[in-house]
Structure 1
Amino acid sequence: MARYADPGVTEWVESGGGPLIAVPEAVLPFWTGADGDEVSSDYDRACDIDGSIGLLPVGDTRALVLGDEPASTAYLPEYGTFVRWCAANSEDELLAEMPGALESALWGTEVEWRVPGAVVLFDAAWPGDGSGRTDRLRVELEPGRYGVRAAYVSAGPETWLGLVQLRRLAP
């Protein structure tokens, strides 16, 4: 796992060039990544997502694809948001912009994501049962419904970040 500041402060996940995916831990073995005998692999399906976010069936639930660009990504539980490092001189600079970025964001269309609990964020090319061999991040989520929305924010002349916010919805 890539870390750009003090160890354990903020954990960042990177991909080899494709999308990142947040797969519910309960169905992790069902994600085959770029492997598989089918014409279209799970990774291919993730790459077909058009836009910043999308949902794909995995087992009896769905996974969240973080599309568009393969930016380093962290989850900030205090904001309920995945932050994507598009451009910044330092991690401190990027993270300092979070409150203003969330306030000024022009959010895209929200999708509803039902999760059975914790999810694991990793490079969509890896199979779920092999994701332990790559950058990955376990994100604790309460089971239930979430509204998911995305935005790109220019927080300064040299600071750009992508946001994917999870908002808990009423049952």
Structure 2
Amino acid sequence: MVRYAEPGAVEWVESGGGPLIAVPETVLPFWAGADGEETASDYDRACEVDGHVGLLPVGDCTALVLGDEPASTAYLPDHGMFVRWRAGDSEDELLASVPPAVDAAEWEPEVHWEVPGTVHLFDAAWPGSHLSGAEHVRVALEPGRYAVRAASAQPGPETWLGLIQLRLLARR
């Protein structure tokens, strides 16, 4: 986790070069990351996701893969959105650009994600059972079915971001 502004303002997760993944807390031990005896690791499966988002089975749940590029990512609960910092001079500038970026975004087709509750966002290479406080963000979500849509946006000449919006469709 990286902080670019005042402590506690926004928590950012970074990747070592691959995708980030949001895994439901209930199945974290089932995510092996780059570890494991299998020919294709969980991390390899996550790397195969084409595009901004994708879903992968983990245990008896599904995880959300944030693909495309390894950008610093934060969850903004007020917007129900993961924001990916692709370019920008400051965190304040980037965060201020989120509302206009949402309004102007050209959204990709949405996917539906069934969530049992809280998820953890982290580098897909890490095993879910070995997360420490500095490398993941806990995202409290209501259990239910979510519509997930993604877009890239350039709300300013030097500001580029990725948006992944979660909208609760039905509670469990």
TM-score of Structure 1 vs Structure 2, range by shorter chain: over 0.9
> Aligned partner of 2:28: which letter?
L
In the TM superposition, 1:80-95 aligns within 5 A as 80-95=80-95
Secondary structure in 1 aligned to 2:132? helix
User: Which structure 1 residue ranges, 5 or more long, are not aligned?
Assistant: none
- Does structure 2 conserve the Cα–Cα contact (< 8 Å) formed by 1:52 and 1:66? yes
- Counting matched residue pairs gives 171
Match of 1:21 in 2: 21
In the TM superposition, 1:1-171 aligns within 5 A as 1-132=1-132, 134-171=134-171
Scaled by the length of structure 1, the TM-score of the pair is 0.98
- Does structure 2 conserve the Cα–Cα contact (< 8 Å) formed by 1:74 and 1:83? yes
- Shift of the alpha carbon at 1:133? 6.4
- Shift of the alpha carbon at 1:170? 2.8
What do the CA deviations read for 1:63-106 (whole angstroms, capped 9, x no partner)? 00000000000000000000000000000000000110111111
Distance in 2 of aligned mates of 1:89 and 1:10:
16
> Aligned partner of 1:110: which letter?
E
Q: Percent identity?
A: 70
- Shift of the alpha carbon at 1:130? 1.0
Distance in 1 of aligned mates of 2:136 and 2:56:
19
> Aligned partner of 2:143: which letter?
P
User: Which structure 2 residue ranges, 5 or more long, are not aligned?
Assistant: none
Scaled by the length of structure 2, the TM-score of the pair is 0.98
Secondary structure in 1 aligned to 2:69? coil
What do the CA deviations read for 1:87-138 (whole angstroms, capped 9, x no partner)? 0000000000011011111100100000100000000000000122651000
Superposition CA RMSD, Å: 0.8
